[in-house]
Amino acid sequence: MAGRRTFFFEGLGVSEGIAIGPAYVIESEDFRTESWQIEESEVEAELQRFHEAVGLAAEELRGIRQQVLEKIDRQQASIFDAHLLILEDPQIVDETVRRIRHERRNAEAVLWEVTQQIGEMMKSLGDSYFAERNHDLYDVSRRVIKFLLRIYAESHPALPREGCIVVANGLGPAETAQFSKDHVLGICTNEGAATSHAAIMAKAFSIPACVGLEHITHYIRSGDMLVLDGGEGKVILNPTADQIEFYREKGEVWKKRLESLRTLRDVPAITLDGVTISMMANLEFPEELDTVDLNGAEGIGLFRTEFMYLERTSLPTEEEHLRSYGHVLAKLGDKPVVMRTIDIGGDKLPSDQPVHEFNPFMGVRAIRLCLQRPDLFRAQLRAMAMAHAGRELNIMIPMISGLTELRESRNILDDILERLDREGVNPPSKVNLGAMIEIPSAALQTRTLCEEADFLSIGTNDLVQYTLAVDRVNKAVASLYRQTHPAVLQLISMVVEGAKETRTPVSVCGEMASDPKLAVLLVGLGIRSLSMSPSSIGAVKQVLRGLSCADAEAIAAEALRQDTPEDVEVLLHFRLKELQAKIDHEPVG
Ligand code: PEP
Ligand code: MG
């Protein structure tokens, strides 16, 4: 590393742990285009790649234009006509072709340079009309380059990622899950926030990760040496020998702490005054089951079933669902499982499929999609029921906004159970239908929902997003995404109180449950069942075992009286400091 400057990047640590190793940069639409020379004999193939990418971009634009025309109006669709015209503009296309031939360089680098030249020229005209066209020009070029990179990647097999730290603009949950199979050391991205699904996946697979690092992809090239601290959200490019040594030691300390927390695997999460908190795990992929067992989860409080739909173009069949659920249930033995029906949409779409909704988190997501596509919903519900033959079935519906969706789900489920009965299929021993509380309207209607729901589970990741109107994956508003916002705490408290009359069980399965400090707050608010990333169970259990429920209730009552998230955080910090100091001095166990 001698002679190379050291750079520091600060972002958001979303999955604890230290990674030290070479970078593997995944180029994306928001990239720094690499430029390379090509041989004379490669020029024609390069031009063909360019024309193919232009053709694919045009096809994609026509598809989007058609959708916009059908769903919105002609005026909005005409934006894409303008984009298609840019694609045919000889100033861009012919100039790019001429320069690829003349300079013998790759298409993406040349196209980007041509775009920048024309863009600068348009900007110099200082006219708002041209400023707008400038924006369109860059947009179209990026679209072509996206296809160029894909065509390149198809003909150049990917370098092995094993043993590398992946650096990318942003990642989807499916790609992140793939990294675990590829044995990557760590992940860092320009975009992302703590509760984006990619972050949740990284934590699930214990891959150290930092997100929201702004422009890190602009500074790092594949092969550069990196240190990543997933707890603190730090990345160091070209670390010194001393820094490497420091972080290696820090990594060892962290691993030892994890091991020591695992000694808590078989002890219950019981507070000093004898209140037992049920510690459940969130499961995103069947491959995680070993970590569930390793960390001593009492069951699965949230089985996210979206993995069945990721990285594929066709829908999973009933048999595929059945096989997969059967495998998970067999591995879990008699531990309880809460199966969530699919929550596709938002940021959980396969990342290579263009999203045609302008606001997917508010769009056709989760139960909304299921009710629009009963074929998809029914296949999943049937498989869930069949997989639970002779065993208790807990089904949970995401994105419930009110009673109607819960009722419609119940009607479909009842119909499926009746049909299975007529077919002579062995039924579940009991069927419970639960609602996720992740939209404020549902929280406000807790009493009404409890008349018909068998249980509730609070999805704080979305509850925070929808209560505060803060996109959970948008880095630009990440500082406004506050789990400690008094409005969020009040809604949680309202749900707990509302469910009391009917004695409807309430748990929390959002990321709040994974944070020991916030878990104390949740217990203080009356939650007795927490479902979290399996790797967090030890740390949460340790804190809960070190205080009394009465302490937690006093802290929560005080928190509810605060005015701002900052006030709540300061309060939590000081109230827990004494308790924490006590815990740190006691041996684990
Ligand atoms: C939540 O919203 O808190 C939740 C658990 O669901 P997901 O993160 O899958 O949206
Ligand atoms: Mg959710």
Examine the domain organization and report whether 522 and 422 are in the same domain.
yes
Ligand 1 atom with minimal separation from the 398 CA: 6
Ligand 2 centroid–CA 538 distance in Å is 24
CATH of the domain at 242: 3.50.30.10
Please indicate, yes or no, if residue 398 is contained in any of the structural domains: yes
Given a cut of 90, whether residue 564 has pLDDT beyond it is yes
pLDDT tens-digit map of 420-442: 999 999 999 999 999 999 999 99
Nearest CA to ligand 1 atom 1: 459
Ligand 1 centroid–CA 195 distance in Å is 8
Q: What percent of the chain has pLDDT over 70?
A: 91
Please indicate, yes or no, if residue 35 is contained in any of the structural domains: no
Measure Cα distances from 262 to 297, 361, 530, 569, 575 in Å: 11, 36, 18, 28, 26
Average pLDDT, whole number, for the chain? 88
pLDDT tens-digit map of 19-51: 999 998 886 544 556 778 888 999 999 999 999
Examine the domain organization and report whether 575 and 454 are in the same domain.
yes
At 589 the pLDDT is: 42
Examine the domain organization and report whether 80 and 210 are in the same domain.
no
Task: Tell me which residue range forms the domain holding 229.
Answer: 7-27+155-259
The residue out of 99, 127, 148 marking a domain boundary is: 148
Ligand 2 centroid–CA 398 distance in Å is 6
At 346 the pLDDT is: 57
At 551 the pLDDT is: 93
Examine the domain organization and report whether 273 and 398 are in the same domain.
yes
At 133 the pLDDT is: 75
Given a cut of 60, whether residue 419 has pLDDT beyond it is yes
At 131 the pLDDT is: 66
Rounded Cα–Cα distance for residues 547 and 553 (Å): 11
Active site residues: 197, 509
Q: Which ligand is nearest to the CA of 461?
A: 1
Given a cut of 80, whether residue 128 has pLDDT beyond it is no
Examine the domain organization and report whether 482 and 370 are in the same domain.
yes
Measure Cα distances from 230 to 38, 210, 392, 515 in Å: 39, 5, 38, 15
Please indicate, yes or no, if residue 15 is contained in any of the structural domains: yes
Examine the domain organization and report whether 208 and 280 are in the same domain.
no
At 159 the pLDDT is: 57
Rounded Cα–Cα distance for residues 34 and 40 (Å): 19
Given a cut of 80, whether residue 491 has pLDDT beyond it is yes
Please indicate, yes or no, if residue 174 is contained in any of the structural domains: yes
Q: Which residues line ligand 1 (CB under 6 A)?
A: 302, 304, 343, 438, 459-462, 509-510
Q: How confident is the model at residue 586 (pLDDT cuts 50, 70, 90)?
A: low
Rounded Cα–Cα distance for residues 478 and 14 (Å): 13
Number of domains in the chain: 3
Is residue 443 within a helix (H) or strand (E), and if so which, with residue range?
Answer: helix 440-444
CATH of the domain at 360: 3.20.20.60
At 584 the pLDDT is: 63
Please indicate, yes or no, if residue 574 is contained in any of the structural domains: yes
Contact indicator for 231, 22 with CB cutoff of 8 Å: no
Examine the domain organization and report whether 244 and 373 are in the same domain.
no
Ligand 1 atom with minimal separation from the 346 CA: 10
Ligand 1 centroid–CA 305 distance in Å is 12
Would you state the structure tokens that stand for residue 276, as one six-digit string?
A: 């037992």
Examine the domain organization and report whether 574 and 459 are in the same domain.
yes
Please indicate, yes or no, if residue 32 is contained in any of the structural domains: no
At 579 the pLDDT is: 73
Examine the domain organization and report whether 216 and 360 are in the same domain.
no
Mutate to test the pocket of ligand 1, among 438, 491, 515 (most ligand atoms within 8 A of CB): 438
CATH of the domain at 70: 1.10.274.10
Examine the domain organization and report whether 441 and 549 are in the same domain.
yes
The residue out of 233, 259, 285 marking a domain boundary is: 259
Examine the domain organization and report whether 204 and 331 are in the same domain.
no
CA atoms within 13 A of residue 508's CA, in its CB half-sphere: 32
Which residues, 6+ apart, have CB-to-CB distance to 261 below 8 Å? 538, 539, 541, 542, 588
Rounded Cα–Cα distance for residues 165 and 210 (Å): 11
Please indicate, yes or no, if residue 325 is contained in any of the structural domains: yes
The residue out of 113, 148, 183 marking a domain boundary is: 148
Examine the domain organization and report whether 456 and 329 are in the same domain.
yes
Contact indicator for 566, 547 with CB cutoff of 8 Å: no
Please indicate, yes or no, if residue 303 is contained in any of the structural domains: yes
Ligand 1 atom with minimal separation from the 509 CA: 5
Average pLDDT of 501-520?
96
DSSP 8-state symbol, 364:
S
At 315 the pLDDT is: 81
